[in-house]
Amino acid sequence: MGEYLLVIDEGTTSTRAMLFRPDGACMASEAAPLTQSYPRPGWVEHDAAEIWRKSLRVAGAMVAQAGGPERIAAIGITNQRETVVFWDRETGEPLAPAIVWQDRRTADICRDLAENGHEGIVQERTGLLLDPYFSGSKIGWAMREWPQLTQAGDRLAVGTVESWLVWKLTEGLHLTDATNASRTALMDVRSGGWDPELCDLFGAPRGALPDIIDCAGQFGTTRAFGPPIPICGLAGDQQAASIGQACLRPGETKATFGTGAFILTHTGAQLLPSDHRLLSTIAWRIGGETAYALEGSVFVAGSLVQWLRDGLKLIDSAPETEALAREVPDNGGVYLVPALSGLGAPHWRPEARAAISGLTFSATRAHVARAALEAQSYQAHDLKRAFASDGQDWRTLRIDGGMVANDWMAQDLADMLGVTVERPRFAETTALGAAMLAGLGCGLFASLEEASAMRGDVERFEPRIGEDERAARLAGWAEAVRKVLP
């Protein structure tokens, strides 16, 4: 068996490959940007062929870095979850653009389904809500609007991104893991299979969907790099990050601040329904046994900073926001509600639009940059309140993702949440979680608990501000949010 674990971490704005040792050391990485297309307001698309081409390239670079395929013990794949791909089984080529998780084109469809009383069955069977975020409505829309899909007949294959990558790597295995399947709104998360009634509700062709498998095991091999390498770990990015943060016991919570922000609390072997518009989802399935989590999903986090840079030209680079935030003693009354793709949990208002409020002549770009960072803490606080109302308050919060390299933001999270915030020294926990699953699947580890030693050391941030300051800032945020709700 080889001595390295190869991870393909296919995200929203880039695809990356990383090479790990079983002790958690990251030996090398290679990334390539992905093109996002916005053909209409609220629409977001990817080119699935580009995803495959660039994923293959960066993974190949890591195989070469390792010294050849024989040095790779197993491959793990983690991915942007609700993005859906359509392809031809015979040619292996995409039939249409991939519809990205951020896409809001099915907002009217979801609203109509909710108004006709269907949200109850969706939430009861899937743990999810009726929102364009999830794959089911995207698939149904595509089947109605893109005739080449129905014309493909039995040749049509539909899947989330890990399913697409497995198909291409293995030249024909059509699989999805339980975590990604649980985000489609088509899977009964208790029985673990596709739900025929939900497939009919959304108009998703059951025969085009992949087989649902565990997150760790022997799933097939790839010869894309020469001699065969087994694929042994699969998980959606947020579940992979939760595993990478060693959130393995009920109550343990992680928050990933990437393109969006996603907070998961492990709830154990029982699915915990939410009464406060959080999501009940699968944390992992291993050996046929399912573990669950409660999730709060924020649509805009790091993409807000990217917008400040690329859209408004307010900053030259993301790290600049930390220095700007430190330039001013407070936010000067400026609040930024980042509803650039609507508002996610706990509001679930896809029609909401972003706004900057509280501007005066004394406001500077430093105030706006600080408001963008503060928005992450406020959104996290809104979720903390919802989790607590569902009986899952956080004792600590384990953070990761590209944004949390910002020390100012990490401290602000601790201040606004009033809890200890832990940041691992190695912040790429999504890839790390996929490596843990791959190591478990190929037999390097006997359990996730054993694999969790890969996490390594952490830094801690403790709250520093008083309750009065916290309450005053949160009151300003609540007023800013009220202004953007239709």
Residue partners of 430: CB distance under 8 A and separation at least 6: 9, 11, 78, 237, 238, 240, 241, 244, 256, 258, 400, 401
Residue 221 lies in a domain: yes
Q: How far is it, in rounded angstroms, from Cα 403 to Cα 255?
A: 11
pTM: 0.89
pLDDT tens, the chain, 486 aa long: 789 999 999 999 899 999 999 999 999 999 999 999 999 988 999 999 999 999 999 999 999 999 999 999 999 999 999 999 999 999 999 999 999 999 999 999 999 999 999 999 999 999 998 989 899 999 999 999 999 999 999 999 999 999 999 999 998 999 999 999 999 999 999 999 999 999 999 999 999 999 999 999 999 999 999 999 999 999 999 999 999 999 999 999 999 998 889 999 999 998 988 888 899 999 999 999 999 999 998 889 999 999 999 999 999 999 999 999 999 999 999 999 999 988 888 888 878 899 999 999 999 999 999 999 999 999 999 999 999 999 999 989 999 988 999 999 999 999 999 999 999 988 889 999 999 999 999 999 999 999 999 988 899 999 999 999 999 999 999 999 999 987
Residue 112 lies in a domain: yes
Residue 46 lies in a domain: yes
Residue partners of 234: CB distance under 8 A and separation at least 6: 76, 77, 78, 162, 166, 175, 176, 177, 179, 180, 213, 215, 219, 434, 437
Total tally of structural domains belonging to the chain: 1
Residue 82 lies in a domain: yes
Q: Which residue has the tokens 């996002």?
A: 36
Q: What is the CATH number of the domain that holds 83?
A: 3.30.420.40
Range of the domain at 68: 4-237
